[in-house]
Chain A
Amino acid sequence: MNLQQVAQPRPFANGFGRRREMGSRQDNKLQSGKSNPSRLPNAGGGYESSSRDRLVYLTTCFIGLPVEVQVKNGSIISGIFHATNADKDFGIVLKMARLTKDGPVRGQKAISDSVSKAPSKILIIPAKELVQVIAKDVSVTRDGFSNELQQDKLQDIMLDSIISQSRHIEMERELERWVPDEDIPQCPELEKTFDGPWKRGWDQFEINKKLFGVNSTFDEEIYTTKLDRGPQTRELEKEALRLAREIEGEETHDLHLAEERGLHLHANFDIDEEARFSSVLRRVDISEDNEDGMLDSHNDETFGGSSGLAIGRHFADLTTGKSSDVAQVSSSSSSVDEAQSSQSGTGLDLYHSGSHDHARHLALDSQSRVQENQFSEQQVGNNHAKEFVEKQTLAEEAQTSKSEDLQSLLDAKKDGSDKGGLSPNATAYAPSHGSSKSQENMGSPAEVSEGPVSARTMGETQSVNSRGRPSSSTSSASDCVGATPASIGPGLSPSSSVGSLSSEKSTLNPHAKEFKLNPNAKSFIPSQTPIGHSFSGHQPVIFNPQAAPIQSPQTYFHPNGPQYGQQMFFGHPRQVLYMPGYPPEMPYKGRDF
């Protein structure tokens, strides 16, 4: 390597013939891996003892690094190291140098008043001026180099601190621990604010109005089912409580439900976080992972026709938001023949309601919402007819209703046809209309969407059973004329189950989704009598618009429930669809929206 060719304009070029690594630019790349001393022949003058190579080596390492140079007058100059003259005396060349600390000037104050200057592009500091050079974080060895390379690569990524360039601006402050001011009165601890159960003393609207003059237009009933508090309220409440307890105490295979109820999650480590908390249905297995297929199903308008399970609707109130439990609606697996299963899943979110209160509330006011329209408005998935599930259990004895599905009432989104597939065991009702989608068999969790879920739920409810909800309908039942969404089906038997004790909705929902009649749906003619009476309060849903309502429209949540239930056991191929919420005085109009 010819050093002379290093075209240093300044006298810093290395005049020696021998190879030296210098801070100055060289054309040839030095081979790495060779240690310096060994490369340097001992030609030349006295300085070039091999140990000086160390100096040269080190200064070469400085290239490109910011260094601080102290000069004779005490000033410190910072700049990027560029070159050095290491042959005789030691001078230095810096690029972009600026005065960091002015030697002659003493004290902080002076500095703040001094005026800044532009950095010099190139600054030569002759040897005479130089006192010392300080370079920080120099990578000296090979390890250092490799580290540095990596670091440089990282620098391409714009780090936040680089972007904000906070180093230019702020100094670190001394941090002090916060202590509350002395004069502020001791506030009650925040954590304890809501310890008391249900502090009714606090009215946020009132406070807001007082403090800010904001008049609230909040009306709870926009968001939830209106509770009819009539003379039977206490009884209904009791019943609802009972149902709620029962539901919550049920054994469940559903992971989410189990967790909600505080049941011990069997230490099955296969169940990872995803299985536990995700809402994605991964497997069609009924037993575990019940992801909320229900949720999915809800979300997909898979329900196809209106869910017959109007019941689900009111459960919408319940909605815990987790559809998973819908599955609970055990659709008796068998029954799902026509599979209109799709819908079922969703409705059955019986177990969802997690909290006790919630369940109770649900029970109380859910019943009424059978209308399809209501369903459509409900959140998908959430509106599961929990109650419905209960009712399903009743259906155990029910004949297989093939077509029945436990439609989750919830998803009313479907227009038109409901699928009311009721599982024979389960509650059944939900007239299923010939909706296309259904063909799924409830029982088999074949489909990812509701189907499996519902199937599952069906199964579950089975265990619960008992409420003897009139089970679903027979095949005939399942065809419902596009009927209504309302068909809550037997599950909703007021008595039994689930909180359906809520007061029925007295008015039709003006915002309800339009019901579209499915001309292909088979007509359903529920059988008369026993059912009719037993369902006190159940609004029969008539799928066939021409058919007359079988049951007297009564409040859904009639205390006669239990009676009804029993009767339902016997009743079989009847598909009873209730429209909870139909006011007694309102005759069924056959859905001619």
Chain B
Amino acid sequence: MNDSFTIIIIYVDDILITAQEGSDSGPRRNIRLLKANYIKEFSYLGQAEDPLDPKKCCIDLNALQAREEVAIRQAEADAERIGVGVTVEAQNIFDALSKTLPVRWDKTAIVVMNEVRVSSPYLPESVSGGTPAANERVKKVLEFERKRLQARVAGQ
């Protein structure tokens, strides 16, 4: 691939280039770590200020670890929502249904309200189970969401 970008180098050694994107020296920046051997070419643009001010650097490890915990938990929760071995379309349907109904994955089937199952190919006909009322409701929501998705895809 061929990407090119402008970076300000923070550190270089023969393995890795540590750099930040852009010249922003605000508190938050985008950092890139590049393997040196993947650089095809580069050109020197100039000398900038040291982006990393040693005096201002400090680390609170506990906070970092806490942050990691939080992120992991969040990611796990997110992972629950993602079906394994399902198509993107299925995932979209799942997401759309989850806006208004409690849904979860059961292998490749979407289980709604713990009663109604929607299996591949996730058409209104694929809805089964649950009380008739719930079934109907899920069918309707499914149809509607499908239409919306189609409209959106068409519009894109």
Contact = CB atoms under 8 A, between A and B. Distances in A.
Interface SS majority for chain A: mixed
Nearest to A117: B84
Interface string A185-201: 00000000000000000
Contacts of B72: 80, 95-96
A115 interface: yes
A55 B62 CA distance: 19
Interface residues of A, number: 79
Contacts of A142: 56-58
Contact of A132 (B11, B28, B32, B70): B32
User: Which size class do B's interface residues fall under?
Assistant: 35 or more
A55 B38 CA distance: 18
B58 A33 contact: yes
A143 interface: yes
Query: Which of A112, A141, A152 counts the most chain B CB atoms within 10 A?
Result: A141
A143 B57 contact: no
A36 B87 contact: no
Contacts of A280: none
A95 B74 CA distance: 12
A118 B82 contact: yes
A140 B67 contact: no
Interface in A99-137: 111-119, 127, 130-137
A147 B85 contact: no
A117 B86 CA distance: 8
Given A35-B54, A138-B31, A61 B59 contact: yes
Interface of A: 21, 25-26, 28-30, 32-38, 47, 49, 51-52, 54-55, 57-66, 74, 79-82, 88-90, 95-96, 98, 111-119, 127, 130-145, 147-149, 152, 155, 164-165, 168-171, 173-174
A54 B11 contact: yes
A490 to B, nearest CB: 66
B80 to A, nearest CB: 10
Nearest to B95: A169
Contacts of B152: 170-171, 173
A144 B34 contact: no
A274 to B, nearest CB: 42
A135 B76 CA distance: 20
5 contacts: A36-B57, A55-B16, A90-B15, A140-B27, A168-B81
B43 interface: no
Interface in B64-93: 64-72, 75-76, 78-79, 81-89, 91-92
Contacts of B52: 54, 57-58, 140-141
A111 B92 CA distance: 13
Contact of A47 (B13, B62, B65): B13
B15 A145 contact: no
Nearest to B38: A131
B18 A55 contact: yes
Given A21-B61, A55-B18, A140-B31, 7 more contacts: A32-B60, A58-B11, A64-B64, A131-B35, A144-B27, A169-B92, A171-B152
B96 interface: yes
B11 A66 contact: no
Interface in B102-147: none
Contacts of A148: 28, 67
